[in-house]
C-alpha cells in the first residue's frame, strides 16, 4: 500500500522547503511531520521534550521518600519485574543509589514459581528486613501483597493499567493510573523511574546538593523503551536517541559484555536493542535465573559482567529451542480453530511460561489479530497476550478478571498476562473474543504493507541510510521506512540458516544490491524467489547498513515480493 495523495503532497512541499533528500521527506510525511517541525523532529532535544515529572500524581511523595531513605541510611529493597523493562528499572535505581553511597536488595520473582508482580510471602519477607520497598514495573494492582508488607513502606513506580482503586502505600507513580490524563501513557517503567530520579535531582539541588549524572543513565531507559515496545513518539524518541549515543560510549560494563557476546560490531541502533540485546536480557527471566538480566545491567565489574552475559547468551539459545517447539504446536492448534477470528489463541499442557508471550507475538504477526497463548499446569493456565494497533488488550483482560472469568489478569494496550482456571478456559477465551470484537478486532485481513516510496537499486547508498536515520529512532509507533524496488532482476537466491533467504538482485543496468529475508521459507516467499527462473519481481523492504570484515554496504531486509 503506497503513500496517499496527501502524503505525496506533504513530501513534495517538505523537499522544496528543506532541501532534504526525497526519500527522507517521504518518511517524514508518513510520520506526519510538516515543514515547520522538520528540523525539530530530526534533532529531538530531551531538554525541550522531557515533561515536568510533577505532572504525574504522587511524584513528589515518591522522590521525597526515596531521598529520605538515602539520608537516613534506611534498608531499601527493589522488587522488579523479570523482563527488560523491570531489569532496566531496577538497574537505574541500583546505579543511582550506588552513586549516592547506598546499596539495595534486589528481588525479582521467579516466573514459574511466583508469577508476575509482588506476592504475599515475598513482600512479607522483604518487609521484615527492610524499611522501604520500591516496586518497579509492577505493583499497581497488588493490593494484598502490598498490605502484607507490614513494618515497611512501599513506593510503586509502574506503567501498567491501573484499577479503580490503588494499593495503600506511600506513592503510586504511574502514567496509566485511571486518574491520570494519559498524556504520558506511552512511557515504559524505566522512563517513569528516570522521571522520579529527575525529581530527586531537583530536590537535591534545592537543598544545595548535587545528585548523580542522570544523562549517563539514558542507555538503560533507551533499552527498556525499545524492548518493551513503547511507541517511539514525543519524549520517547529523545530518550532513545540520547540513550543510543550514551550506549555508543561503552561505559556500562553489562551492556558492553552483552554487545560483545552477541558479536555486535557496529554502534547500537534501536533494532539491536529490540532484537539483539533485549532478548538476551529477557532470557534470564524466561528460562533461567530471574534476576540475571537486572544484575548484569547493574554490574560494575567487567569480568563478572562477561560471565553473566555468556550465561544469558546460552539461556537465549535454550529459549529459542523451547519457543520453536511451542510455536509449532500453538500454530497447529490456532489454525484448527481458525485464524480469522477476533482472537487467535492456543493452550497446551506444560508449555513453558517463559515463551508463551513470544509465541503469542508470532501468532499476532502472522494473523494481524490479537493472540493469547497459555501454558496449562494442573488446575490452572498461565498465559500471555499480544495485541494489534487500535485494540486495547490490557483493558479487555482486566475487565475479564473483574467479571471473575480469570483468576488474575492485567497489562497494557499491546501486551497483557493472565491466569485462568482450566475449567474456565474455553468460556474465558470466548468472552475475551467478544470484548475484542467490540473494539474492531478481526475485521481486517492481512496487515497492509505500507510503503514510503519507490527506490531504484542505484539510489540505495550508505549515505542515504545515514540520512534516513535522522528521522529515527524507528520502532513501535514509528516504523522504519519501507521502499519498493520495482522490476528487479534476481541474480542468485539461496537458503541460509534455518529457513532464511539470501539473494542478490539488480535493475539490469549495472546497479546491484544484496538482500536477506528472515523466515522466508516459513511461507511461500522463499520457494517463489529461489525458483525465479529469470522472472522479475517488485521487492519491498527496509534498507540497512551491513558491516562485514570492516566493509560497509547496503542491504535490503526483504519483507515481501510480487511478480513484476
Worst-scoring range by mean pLDDT, 23-27, 417-421, 428-432?
23-27
Please tell me the predicted confidence (pLDDT) of residue 445: 62
The confidence band for 1, taking pLDDT boundaries of 50, 70 and 90, is: low
More confidently predicted of 446 and 109: 109
CATH number of the domain to which 263 belongs: 3.90.1640.30
Could you read off the pLDDT of 220-269 as tens digits, one per residue?
999 999 999 898 999 999 999 999 999 999 999 999 999 999 998 888 89
Q: What is the mean pLDDT of residues 190-211?
A: 97
Name beta bridge partners: 519.
none
DSSP 217: G
Residue at 372 is within a domain: yes
- Lookup: cell for 236: 520517547
Phi–psi pair at 419, nearest 5 degrees: -125, 130
For residue 459, the enclosing domain spans 449-563
More confidently predicted of 19 and 135: 135
Shared domain check, 163 and 285: yes
DSSP 301: -
Which range, 171-185, 491-505, 550-564, has the best average confidence (pLDDT)? 171-185
Helices (H) and strands (E) in the chain, counts: 21, 16
**Side by side, which strands form the sheet with 380-386?**
344-349, 371-377, 380-386, 415-421, 408-411
pLDDT for residue 116 is more than 90:
no
Please tell me the predicted confidence (pLDDT) of residue 246: 96
Please tell me the predicted confidence (pLDDT) of residue 21: 85
Q: What is the mean pLDDT of residues 431-446?
A: 86
Peptide bond into 481 cis (omega under 30): no
Residue at 203 is within a domain: yes
With a CB cutoff of 8 Å and minimum separation 6, the contacts of 119 are 109, 145
Residue at 38 is within a domain: no
Shared domain check, 113 and 170: yes
Alpha-carbon dihedral sign for residues 429, 430, 436, 441:
positive
Please tell me the predicted confidence (pLDDT) of residue 111: 87
CATH number of the domain to which 420 belongs: 3.10.310.30
Q: What is the mean pLDDT of residues 384-388?
A: 94
Worst-scoring range by mean pLDDT, 386-390, 440-444, 451-455?
440-444
The confidence band for 452, taking pLDDT boundaries of 50, 70 and 90, is: confident
Cell 517447539, residue located: 325
Domain end, chosen from 384, 409, 438, is at 438
pLDDT for residue 4 is more than 80:
no
Worst-scoring range by mean pLDDT, 24-28, 155-159, 165-169, 177-181?
24-28
Domain end, chosen from 438, 457, 480, is at 438
Q: What is the mean pLDDT of residues 23-27?
A: 88
Please tell me the predicted confidence (pLDDT) of residue 448: 67
More confidently predicted of 549 and 364: 364
Please tell me the predicted confidence (pLDDT) of residue 546: 84
Shared domain check, 200 and 58: yes
Shared domain check, 202 and 66: yes
CB-CB neighbours of 106 under 10 Å:
18
**Whole-angstrom Cα distance, residue 232 to residue 41?**
12
Please tell me the predicted confidence (pLDDT) of residue 521: 87
Shared domain check, 238 and 102: yes
| CA nearest neighbour of 426 among 330, 351, 345 | 345
Which range, 2-11, 29-38, 312-321, 463-472, has the best average confidence (pLDDT)? 312-321
CB-CB neighbours of 147 under 10 Å:
14
Domain count, the chain: 3
Residue at 317 is within a domain: no
Residue at 255 is within a domain: yes
The confidence band for 396, taking pLDDT boundaries of 50, 70 and 90, is: very high
pLDDT for residue 547 is more than 90:
no
Shared domain check, 240 and 138: yes
Give first-to-last CA distance, the chain, whole Å.
Answer: 16
Residue at 318 is within a domain: no
Taking all residues of the chain, what is their mean pLDDT, rounded to a whole number?
Answer: 93
Please tell me the predicted confidence (pLDDT) of residue 5: 80
Residue at 40 is within a domain: no
Shared domain check, 230 and 145: yes
- Strand 171-173, strand 153-157: pairing: parallel
Domain end, chosen from 438, 470, 486, is at 438
Please tell me the predicted confidence (pLDDT) of residue 89: 98
With a CB cutoff of 8 Å and minimum separation 6, the contacts of 421 are 379, 380, 381, 407
Shared domain check, 267 and 346: no
Shared domain check, 454 and 379: no
Shared domain check, 256 and 135: yes
Q: In this prediction, what percent of the chain has a pLDDT beyond 90?
A: 72
The confidence band for 216, taking pLDDT boundaries of 50, 70 and 90, is: very high
Residue at 3 is within a domain: no
CATH number of the domain to which 558 belongs: 2.40.50.460
Shared domain check, 236 and 92: yes
Please tell me the predicted confidence (pLDDT) of residue 475: 84
The confidence band for 537, taking pLDDT boundaries of 50, 70 and 90, is: very high
pLDDT for residue 99 is more than 80:
yes
Q: How far is CA 344 from CA 359, 367, 420, 505, in A?
A: 11, 8, 17, 37
Side-chain half-sphere of 456: how many Cα atoms within 13 Å? Answer: 7
Phi–psi pair at 312, nearest 5 degrees: -65, -35
Shared domain check, 348 and 297: no
Amino acid at each position: 500500500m503506497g503513500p496517499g495523495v496527501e502524503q505525496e503532497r506533504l513530501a513534495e512541499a517538505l523537499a522544496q522547503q528543506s532541501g532534504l533528500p526525497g526519500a527522507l521527506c517521504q518518511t517524514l510525511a508518513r510520520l506526519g511531520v510538516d515543514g515547520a517541525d522538520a528540523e525539530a523532529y530530526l534533532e529531538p532535544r530531551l531538554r525541550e521534550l522531557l515533561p515536568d515529572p510533577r505532572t504525574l500524581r504522587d511524584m513528589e511523595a515518591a522522590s521525597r521518600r526515596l531521598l529520605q531513605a538515602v539520608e537516613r541510611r534506611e534498608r531499601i529493597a527493589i522488587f522488579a519485574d523479570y523482563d527488560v523493562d523491570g531489569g532496566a528499572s531496577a538497574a537505574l535505581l541500583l546505579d543511582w543509589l550506588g552513586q549516592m553511597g547506598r546499596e539495595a536488595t534486589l528481588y525479582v520473582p521467579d516466573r514459574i514459581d511466583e508469577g508476575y508482580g509482588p506476592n504475599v510471602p515475598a513482600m512479607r519477607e522483604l518487609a521484615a528486613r527492610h524499611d522501604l520497598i520500591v516496586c518497579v514495573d509492577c505493583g499497581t494492582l497488588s493490593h494484598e501483597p502490598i498490605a502484607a508488607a507490614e513494618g515497611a513502606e512501599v513506593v510503586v513506580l509502574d506503567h501498567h493499567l491501573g484499577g479503580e482503586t490503588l494499593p495503600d502505600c506511600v506513592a503510586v507513580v504511574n502514567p496509566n493510573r485511571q486518574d491520570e490524563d494519559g498524556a504520558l501513557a506511552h512511557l515504559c517503567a524505566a522512563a517513569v523511574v528516570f522521571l522520579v530520579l529527575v525529581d530527586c535531582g531537583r530536590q537535591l539541588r534545592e537543598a544545595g546538593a548535587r545528585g548523580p549524572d542522570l544523562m549517563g543513565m539514558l542507555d538503560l531507559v533507551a533499552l527498556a523503551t525499545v524492548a518493551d515496545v513503547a511507541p517511539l513518539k514525543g519524549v520517547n524518541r529523545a530518550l532513545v536517541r540520547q540513550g543510543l549515543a550514551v550506549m555508543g560510549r561503552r561505559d556500562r560494563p553489562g551492556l558492553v559484555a552483552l554487545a560483545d557476546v552477541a558479536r555486535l560490531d557496529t554502534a547500537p541502533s534501536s533494532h539491536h536493542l529490540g532484537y539483539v540485546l533485549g532478548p538476551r536480557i529477557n532470557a534470564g527471566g524466561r528460562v533461567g535465573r530471574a534476576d540475571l538480566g537486572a544484575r548484569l545491567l547493574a554490574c560494575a565489574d567487567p569480568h563478572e559482567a562477561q560471565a553473566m552475559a555468556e550465561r544469558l547468551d546460552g539461556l537465549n539459545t535454550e529459549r529459542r529451542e523451547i519457543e520453536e517447539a511451542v510455536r509449532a504446536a500453538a500454530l497447529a492448534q490456532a489454525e484448527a480453530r481458525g485464524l480469522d477470528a477476533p482472537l487467535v489463541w492456543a493452550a497446551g499442557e506444560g508449555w513453558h511460561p517463559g515463551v508463551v508471550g513470544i509465541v503469542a507475538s508470532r501468532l499476532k504477526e502472522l494473523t494481524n489479530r490479537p493472540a493469547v497463548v497459555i501454558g496449562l499446569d494442573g488446575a490452572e493456565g498461565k498465559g500471555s497476550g499480544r495485541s494489534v494497533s487500535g485494540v486495547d488488550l490490557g483493558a479487555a483482560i482486566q475487565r475479564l478478571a473483574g467479571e471473575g472469568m480469570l483468576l488474575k489478569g492485567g497489562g497494557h494496550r499491546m501486551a497483557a498476562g493472565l491466569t485462568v482456571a482450566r475449567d474456565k478456559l474455553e468460556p474465558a477465551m470466548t468472552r475475551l473474543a467478544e470484548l475484542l470484537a467490540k473494539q474492531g478486532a478481526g475485521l481486517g485481513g492481512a496487515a497492509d504493507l505500507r510503503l514510503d516510496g519507490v527506490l531504484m537499486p542505484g539510489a540505495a547508498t550508505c549515505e542515504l541510510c545515514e540520512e534516513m536515520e535522522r528521522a529515527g529512532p524507528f520502532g513501535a509507533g514509528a516504523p522504519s521506512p519501507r521502499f519498493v524496488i520495482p522490476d528487479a532482476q534476481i541474480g542468485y537466491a539461496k537458503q541460509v540458516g534455518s529457513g532464511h533467504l539470501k539473494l542478490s538482485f539488480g535493475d539490469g543496468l549495472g546497479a546491484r544490491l544484496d538482500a536477506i529475508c528472515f523466515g522466508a521459507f516459513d511461507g511461500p516467499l522463499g520457494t517463489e524467489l529461489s525458483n525465479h527462473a529469470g522472472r522479475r519481481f517488485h521487492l519491498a523492504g527496509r534498507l540497512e547498513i551491513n558491516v562485514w570484515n570492516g566493509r560497509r554496504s547496503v542491504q535490503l531486509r526483504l519483507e515481501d515480493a510480487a511478480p513484476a
